[in-house]
Amino acid sequence: MPKDELKEEKLKAKEEAEDLTQEMAELRYEMTCLLEEECKRRACIEQASLQRIANLEAQVLASLYLPIFLFFLSHQILLKEPNKYPFSC
């Protein structure tokens, strides 16, 4: 292989390597952006899930404790004003 052809092949190989290096850098950047978007999306989903759990817990607590609270409140009123209500506890 003549010297000129060898230089030309080396130059071509160098340019291809530079092109591939640039393409890899662009792909890494795109992947980084996609990962950041996915991370944000998952954080939003997690936050919505935590909020939903908190709401459900509040509903459960309210359904458990509200009747008890009302029961004691009604009995406290009856104890304070027993003649006001015709029924007894």
In sequence order, the 6+-apart residues with CB closer than 8 A to the CB of 77 are 85
Average pLDDT, rounded, for the chain? 88
pLDDT of residue 79: 64
Percent over 70 (pLDDT), the chain: 84
The model's pTM is: 0.57
What is the pLDDT, as a whole number, of residue 17? 96
What 3-state class would DSSP assign to 82? coil
The per-residue pLDDT for 80 is 67
Per-residue DSSP letter, 1: -
pLDDT at res. 21 = 97
DSSP state of 6: H
* Sequence spans of domains, the chain: 1-63
pLDDT tens for each residue of 12-23: 999 999 999 999
Question: Are 60 and 46 contacting, i.e. CB atoms less than 8 angstroms apart?
Answer: no
